[in-house]
Chain A
Amino acid sequence: MSRRRLFIVAAGAAVLLGGSLIAALVLTTRGSTGSPSTGPAGVAEVAAMLRNVPQHGAALGSPAAPVTLVEFADPQCPYCGDWERISLPTIVDKYVRAGKVRIVFNGMSFVGPDSETALRTALAAGEQNRLWNVIALLYLNQGTENTGWVTDSLLRGIGDAIPGLDTKKMLASLTSATVTRRLAAAAALAKEAGVNQTPSFAVGRTNKALKLVQVTSLEPAGIEPELDAALRE
C-alpha cells in the first residue's frame, strides 16, 4: 500500500473512531448539563467556592487534613444558611483549600419535612461526591420553613446546575436504603454529640475525639480560633 494511501486510511479510521466516541458521549450525557437561565441562585459562586476542592461523600477537603470540622446543620435552619453564606467561603479558602481542615456535613432534619427531602437530596448527591454543591445551593435558595419550598423543580434545577452531577441518578437515590441509613447515622451522631441547636460544630484532630463547639458569631472569626487551636495541637 502506498504511503499516501496508508495515511488516508489511518486518518479516515481515526475520524470514524474518535468521532463515534465523542458523539456517543455527547448523546448519552445530553440534557442535564449547564446552568439554566431560570435556575437556582448562586450557581457561579458555589462553583467557584468548591472548584477543585476534593469531596468524598459528606466530607469536603483532603482526607489527609490534620483537623476535622463537623458541621451539624439543618437545611431549613436560617442561621445555618447565614453561616454557609457568611463564613463557609472564607473557611474553605483559608483552611480547606490549603489542606489544613476537612469539613464533614452532618445533616439534621428536626425543623420539618422539607429538611428531610433536602437532606436526602444532599446525601444522594454525596454518592457522586457533590453533597457540598447541593447543600450550598439549597442554602442560597432557602425558603421559609416548612412551606414546601424544597420542590422537585428546585431540586432538579440545583442538580442540573452542578457540573458533572447526574441529576436523574441523584433523584432516583432519594429513598434508597443507603441514603436512609446515612440519614439515621447523621441523626444518631448529632444525638451522641449532644447537639441541641444548629449550626453546631465539633472540632479536633482528624481521627481523634472532637470537641463540640457553640459559635457565638456567624462570622468566620466565630470558628477560626477553634480551628487554629486544633491546628496548633
Chain B
Amino acid sequence: MTDRRLRVAVVVLSTIGAGIAAYLTYAHITGSPVACATGGCEIVQHSKYSELAGIPVAALGLAGYVALATTAAFRSDVVRAAGAAFALAGFAFGAYLIYVQVALIDALCQWCLTSDGVLTLLVPVTLLRLRSTA
C-alpha cells in the first residue's frame, strides 16, 4: 500500500476516534446522558476510572487521536515512529481499559469498545507506514 493511502487511512481512523472521544469528553464534562446500547456507558463514564489526575480519560483519547492525525501530515522517520508509538500505546491502554470495564467496573461502554476497535486498526496502519519509509 502506498504511503499516501496509509496517511489517508490514519486521518480517517483518527477522525472517527476523535469524534467518539470528543462526544465522551463532552458528556463527561457536562454530565449529559450517553446514548448507549450496552447500558453501561454512564456507569463507566462516572466511575473513578474515567479520570486520570482530574483529566477525563476520554480527553486523553481525544488528544491522542489529534496527535495521531497530525502525524499523517508529515513524512519524516521520527514522526512516523511517533505515530506508531501513539497507536501502540493507545492500543495497550485501551486493552487495559477493557479489562477495567469487564473485571472491575462490571459494565461495558460501547463507545469505548468502538474506540478500541479503531485503535486496533490504527496499529497495523501506522506500522505499515513505518515499514514503508526505509
Interface of A with B (CB < 8 Å)? 1-3, 6-7, 9-19, 21-22, 24-25, 28-29, 32-34, 47, 51-56, 63, 128-130, 163-166, 169
A11-B88, A14-B84, A53-B39 known; A164 and B104 CB under 8 Å? yes
The residue among B84, B85, B92 with the most chain A CB atoms within 10 A of its own CB is B85
Contact partner of B134 among A2, A54, A163, A169, CB < 8 A? A2
Tell me which residues across on chain B come within 8 A of A53, comparing CB atoms: 39
Question: Can you list 6 residue pairs at the A/B interface with Cβ under 8 Å?
Answer: A1-B77, A6-B134, A10-B84, A17-B86, A18-B90, A163-B104
Inter-subunit contact A3/B43 (CB<8 Å): no
Please, which residue of chain B has its CB at the minimum distance from the CB of A169?
Answer: B48
Q: Given contacts A3-B133, A52-B107, list 4 more A-B pairs with CB under 8 A.
A: A13-B82, A21-B60, A28-B53, A51-B106
Alpha-carbon gap, A216 to B11, bound state (A): 62
Contact partner of A129 among B43, B82, B84, B87, CB < 8 A? B43
Interface of B with A (CB < 8 Å)? 33, 36, 38-44, 46-49, 52-53, 57, 60, 77-78, 80-82, 84-93, 96, 100, 104-108, 127, 130-131, 133-134
Distance between A123 CB and nearest chain B CB, rounded to angstroms: 14
Tell me which residues across on chain B come within 8 A of A24, comparing CB atoms: 52-53
Q: Is the interface of B mostly helix, strand, loop or mixed?
A: helix
The residue among A55, A56, A128, A163 with the most chain B CB atoms within 10 A of its own CB is A163
Contact partner of B85 among A14, A25, A32, A54, CB < 8 A? A14
A54-B39, A55-B43, A63-B33 known; A29 and B48 CB under 8 Å? yes
Tell me which residues across on chain A come within 8 A of B39, comparing CB atoms: 52-54
Distance between B60 CB and nearest chain A CB, rounded to angstroms: 7
A56-B33, A163-B107, A164-B107 known; A29 and B84 CB under 8 Å? no
Please, which residue of chain A has its CB at the minimum distance from the CB of B41?
Answer: A54
Inter-subunit contact B43/A28 (CB<8 Å): no
A22-B96, A52-B108, A53-B39 known; A29 and B88 CB under 8 Å? no
A13-B85, A29-B49, A163-B107 known; A22 and B80 CB under 8 Å? no
Inter-subunit contact B104/A22 (CB<8 Å): no
Inter-subunit contact A17/B85 (CB<8 Å): yes
Tell me which residues across on chain B come within 8 A of A129, comparing CB atoms: 42-43, 46
Distance between B52 CB and nearest chain A CB, rounded to angstroms: 6
Tell me which residues across on chain B come within 8 A of A11, comparing CB atoms: 85, 88
Contact partner of B81 among A6, A18, A22, A34, CB < 8 A? A6
Tell me which residues across on chain A come within 8 A of B105, comparing CB atoms: 163-164
Tell me which residues across on chain A come within 8 A of B33, comparing CB atoms: 56, 63
A17-B89, A128-B46, A163-B107 known; A52 and B134 CB under 8 Å? no
Inter-subunit contact B48/A166 (CB<8 Å): yes
A14-B89, A164-B49 known; A6 and B104 CB under 8 Å? no
Distance between B123 CB and nearest chain A CB, rounded to angstroms: 9
Which 4 pairs across A and B sit closest by C-beta, in order of nearness? A164-B47, A3-B134, A14-B88, A18-B92
Distance between A127 CB and nearest chain B CB, rounded to angstroms: 8
Tell me which residues across on chain A come within 8 A of B106, comparing CB atoms: 47, 51, 163-164
